[in-house]
Amino acid sequence: MHLNNSYLKKTKKGKVVKVVKERYLRDDIWSGSPLDPECDPASHKLSATAAHYLLIDTNVALHQLDFLEHAAVTDVVVCTTVLEEVQHKNMSAYQRLRSACAAPAKRFFVFANEHHRDTHVTAAEGESPNDRNDRALRVATKWYSERIPQDKVPVILLTNDVANRSAALADGLRAMGVMTYCRALRKDNPELQDLVAAAAEDEEQDAAAAAGCSHGADGASAADDDVAAVGSCGGGRAAKRKKLYGEHLPLAELMAGIKSGRFHQGTLRVSRFNPFEGWVGSESVDTDILLSGRVDMNRAIDGDVVAVELLPEGQWRGPSAKLPGAGDGGKKAGKAVAERDAEAEAEAEVEVDTDDEQGLDEVAEIFQVAPGEHFNDSAGTGKQPTGRVVGIIKRNWRTRGYCGSLKPQRVRGGAANVLFVPVERRYPMIRIQTRQADTLMDKRIVVVIDGWDADSAYPRGHYVRTLGVIGDKDTETEVILIENDINTNPFTPAVHDCVPPLPWSVSPADLADPNRADLRHLVVASVDPPGCKDIDDALHVRQLPNGNYELGVHIADVTHFLKPGTAMDIEAAQRATTVYLVQRRIDMLPKPLTEDICSLRCDFLNYPT
């Protein structure tokens, strides 16, 4: 069966073009399960003894990758509907999802539902692309449920979309949210709940609150009962909370403002010495625009591409001459904040006594009050253009996460809201929920940011993994590598395939190459230290007939083996350089090439340049 799909697309130059794609529907696409009697055995990837199969939606694939990558999450069906949408929205997430699908132990099966005659879905008139994709996933879930005996291995649609989950339950399918699923597995894998992105929990709690916390209501799944219990009958984020920051303007309004000159686009660079000050460089302004305080930064963090509105010239000021919290100004500012924003302090989950100077300093540090208080010190370096963030054009939150530790505080048993303090001061503290607070207090951990609401003093995130004990040499080394985005993964087989097999020797054709000079008659001395394995630098000195001296520099010619466009070339470009630490080295190229073939060893013929 043959179909034509067409849609309108806006190009990078701003033109709108019509794209037509042909799609061929087949009936010989398999489910990947040995429990399906019609499935080709060669395609079996899912386990016949699994407790259940999970079929995930796009939002789970985009935002819950840390959960999906956990060893306990196996036997997952990834529809091409999800893969295509993830690839379009986030290439980094797509690559991580593809890696999970390629891992044999994970048993992630890619089901080509968009090309199957029984599971392809055509958009109905007036149906949005998102609703159409949700319906396609429900159709795929139903197809799996009909092919696989549900008394042996039930199929569960995993989605945090309340409407999609409700529609699936109405169709007689099994469906639940990610946090609910994790709670069902908490006996054997209690750490799973910490890996769930905060947005998922908020959605489920809001859904429970909207349902009036009717525990065990008709038509609700057992999972919803668990969510309702956590929601605490109208709790969660459904309650009214005071806005601490201004709302971000829509992208269309930001683009129009930038075009008209009202707003200025640039990348936020936060000071390493004062995390409450930053600068935005914009081509439309001759100098950097100063952002002073969290309020003016408006939930933007270092690296975000933002739209900035200049303040009136009378409100311009210079960079702070004092570090945050220094002197009595910080205490006075903290007292002003405590008196004016008591409700906001409570929402920020900081217990503050207005008579407690230490608590007031903490509040001052978090909120960084109005311009002129504490930061606009008279010892400043002069006024410069000052502005405030009105919108985020592109978030550049780290997918690899942020290294740091938990802020010391008293915690009770069970799930606790705690503050994570990044080792890099340019980033704000992050609020996470964990059941391991006591265990993690003396550890270096990795946390990712999930979002930052206007009514929250901190961004919200979730725990990813533990690196080790604070102060341990190996732990702190790992922190350095992660913070500097150093790739420590082993080289892939495709990269190793680019290296000639050992033992290697120079071929006669290479010896006859007119572009190479035979320098074996010279005395060449290495300048690398004793014990070095990759000897890639050497010198020679000889006296010329005219009495002058010739100094020759010999460098290992790795480019002879590093061909453009190969897997090794791409990997080397990404790594950029070999990284040397005190007790460790991270190579840019595979060791057989650098330590054997291209190493300038004694009595070994190779290619210096």
pLDDT at position 4 over 70 = no
pLDDT in tens, 134-155: 999 999 999 999 988 888 899 9
Average of pLDDT values for 371-379? 39
Residue 560: DSSP 8-state = G
CATH 3.40.50.1010 residue spans of the chain: 26-196
Residue 556: strand pairing partners: 608
Average of pLDDT values for 177-186? 89
Return the pLDDT at 515.
Answer: 80
CA–CA distance, 382 with 378 (Å, rounded to integer): 9
3-class secondary-structure state, position 469? strand
Percentage above 70 pLDDT, the chain = 80
pLDDT at position 323 over 90 = no
Q: How many CA atoms lie within 13 Å of 87's alpha carbon, on the beta-carbon side?
A: 8
Pairing of strands 263-270, 277-281: antiparallel
**CATH class entry, domain 397-483:** mainly beta
pLDDT at position 475 over 80 = yes
Return the pLDDT at 240.
Answer: 60
Average of pLDDT values for 242-255? 89
Return the pLDDT at 608.
Answer: 54
CA–CA distance, 296 with 370 (Å, rounded to integer): 9
Return the pLDDT at 205.
Answer: 52
pLDDT in tens, 508-521: 887 778 888 888 78
Pairing of strands 537-543, 549-555: antiparallel
Return the pLDDT at 352.
Answer: 36
103 contacts 97 by C-beta, under 8 angstroms: no
Average of pLDDT values for 40-64? 90
Does the CA dihedral 180-184-186-191 come out positive or negative? negative
User: pLDDT averaged over the chain?
Assistant: 80
pLDDT at position 41 over 50 = yes
Residue 155: strand pairing partners: 53
CA–CA distance, 264 with 283 (Å, rounded to integer): 8
pLDDT at position 64 over 50 = yes
Return the pLDDT at 23.
Answer: 73
Average of pLDDT values for 101-129? 89
CA–CA distance, 159 with 171 (Å, rounded to integer): 15
Enclosing H/E stretch for 157: strand 155-158
Return the pLDDT at 59.
Answer: 92
Average of pLDDT values for 224-235? 37
The Cβ of residue 593 has, within 10 Å, a number of other Cβ atoms equal to: 24
pLDDT in tens, 576-606: 888 888 888 888 889 888 888 887 766 665 5
pLDDT at position 15 over 90 = no
32 phi-psi bin (left φ>0, alpha ψ -120 to 50, beta other): left
pLDDT at position 439 over 60 = yes
CA angle (150 as vertex; 146, 154 as ends), nearest 5:
105
Structure tokens at 483: 């913070």
Return the pLDDT at 534.
Answer: 79
234 contacts 206 by C-beta, under 8 angstroms: no
CA–CA distance, 285 with 264 (Å, rounded to integer): 8
Could you tell me where the DSSP H helices lie in 185-270? Answer: 198-210, 222-231, 251-260
Regarding the domain delimited by 251-393, which CATH topology (the fold level of the hierarchy) does it fall under?
Answer: OB fold (Dihydrolipoamide Acetyltransferase, E2P) (2.40.50)
**pTM of the entire structure?**
0.72
DSSP string, 279-315: EEE-TTSSSPEEEESHHHHTT--TT-EEEEEEPPGGG
- Residue bearing tokens 């920051």: 245
Confidence of residue 236 (pLDDT cuts 50, 70, 90): very low
Regarding the domain delimited by 26-196, which CATH topology (the fold level of the hierarchy) does it fall under?
Answer: Rossmann fold (3.40.50)
CA–CA distance, 223 with 156 (Å, rounded to integer): 12
CATH 2.40.50.700 residue spans of the chain: 397-483
Return the pLDDT at 214.
Answer: 40
CATH 2.40.50.690 residue spans of the chain: 251-393
CA–CA distance, 163 with 181 (Å, rounded to integer): 17
CA–CA distance, 205 with 415 (Å, rounded to integer): 15
157 contacts 44 by C-beta, under 8 angstroms: no
pLDDT in tens, 333-366: 444 333 433 444 344 444 333 344 444 444 444 4
